[in-house]
Amino acid sequence: MSRRMVVIGAGAVGAACAFVLAREGHRVVLVEAGPPGGTQAASYGNAGWISPESVVPVAIPGLWRRVPRLLFDPEGPLTVRPLALPRLLPWLWRFLTANATAERAARTSRALAALLHDSVDRHQALATEAGRPDLVVRSGHLYIWRDQQGFAADGYAWALRRAAGVAWRELSAEELAQQEPALSRDWRFGILVEAGGQVRDPGALVQAYARAAEQLGAEHICTRATGFRLERGRLRAVETERGAIEADGAVIAAGIRSGALARAAGDRIPLASERGYHVTIRDPEVSVRTPVMAAELKAPLTPMAGGLRVAGQVELAAIDDPPDWRRAAILERAAVKLLPGLPRPLPRHRITVWMGHRPSVADGLPVIGPARASPDILYAFGHGHVGLAAAAKTAALIADLLAQRPPCVDLAPYSPARFR
């Protein structure tokens, strides 16, 4: 049955949902304050990795012991704005305790694997349908350490990946130099996950999904959703800054802004922004062939259509706090450390920097399912570090829910009811 569906948010998840729902015959209205694929969305500026191996919760058992050292390391990958700390404490407590045991972490890992195991195939199929097969490639992902002992120290995470069916190939120092000749020889051991993929231009992919939806009749309204009009538990309209949009159903895929909309729909979801940064170097003197992650630096390098992108950092702060561009400078230093052939200092006229909001639920899993206030409102947000990778699968799950088909994976781990 065709329904008038308002999809709130035009990042990777929202644009994919709009495309898949329009393809299934629904009358779609895409609500986003900026252009689909624009810089306002987290998916625009991420590392571009489609990673079936991203099945490890960020807060693995024992992380709490390392938090003080991480927070006081000025070059480290994690920081908290002091003024935001009191408001963030409840979320941080949930974040650090949700996967504090091996059993809980394994359960979360299995749920992430269900979303991600076929993520490259799904995005390649969707991008082909959208007319941009060139944007998604199965590139593989290369993880590097200074020595094999460094890899052994990360053994718990890789054991979770092995349990999820992730396969890899070990590379010696010589093989690493052949695979990536521009890399510093300080890194002497590597793991190549050949199933990994990348998006050559994340913003362009999101734009392609949105345009494909529009070619199927979807409409984009440039505004921000503010709430819902319900009558006896049924959705009648989505309220926006430009007035009400009549609707039979809605999908909340608004990234970090989804928390307020979920409250309007009857649910309190522990959602926080893990602010991330990137640096893109246009026409770099040297680059990498394969997306590379140095485990020590937590700053993936990705060769993209617009240049070499270095992404990373987790900054916990208020949504509207201004960017701290010192975090981007840390990424610049990481790039030069990994690729000694880059000039020092990096040429400012070829550098662009960006900051965005990863919408992260405290237990490490997204929220996918119906709202408390109405079954007509569906949640598709909170994917944290895997929003781009999981977008195509999430869109398929939303379509299954609307069509009342058995979903392609068990939705229980992602249910909003887990917080009620």
Amino acid at 273: S
Q: What is the mean pLDDT of the chain?
A: 95
Give me the number of domains the chain comprises. Answer: 1
Q: Which residues contact 77 (CB under 8 A, 6 or more apart)?
A: 70, 297, 298, 299, 312, 313, 314
**Phi, psi of 137, rounded to the nearest 5 degrees:** -130, 145
Residue 292 and residue 281: Cα distance in Å, rounded? 15
* Token output for 360: 């992260």
Q: What is the CATH number of the domain that holds 102?
A: 3.50.50.60
pLDDT computed for residue 65 by the predictor: 77
pLDDT tens digits for range 239-248 = 999 999 999 9
Residue 5 and residue 91: Cα distance in Å, rounded? 31
pLDDT tens digits for range 184-193 = 999 999 999 9
Question: What interhelical angle do 119-129 and 12-23 show, nearest 10?
Answer: 60
Residue 72 binned pLDDT confidence (cut-offs 50, 70, 90): low
pLDDT computed for residue 75 by the predictor: 77
Q: Compute the Cα dihedral for 402, 116, 358, 216 and give only its sign.
A: negative
Please state, for a pLDDT cut of 90, what percent of the chain lies above it.
91
pTM for the full predicted model: 0.96
Q: 27 pairs with which residues across the strands?
A: 4
Which structural domain range is residue 114 located in?
4-419
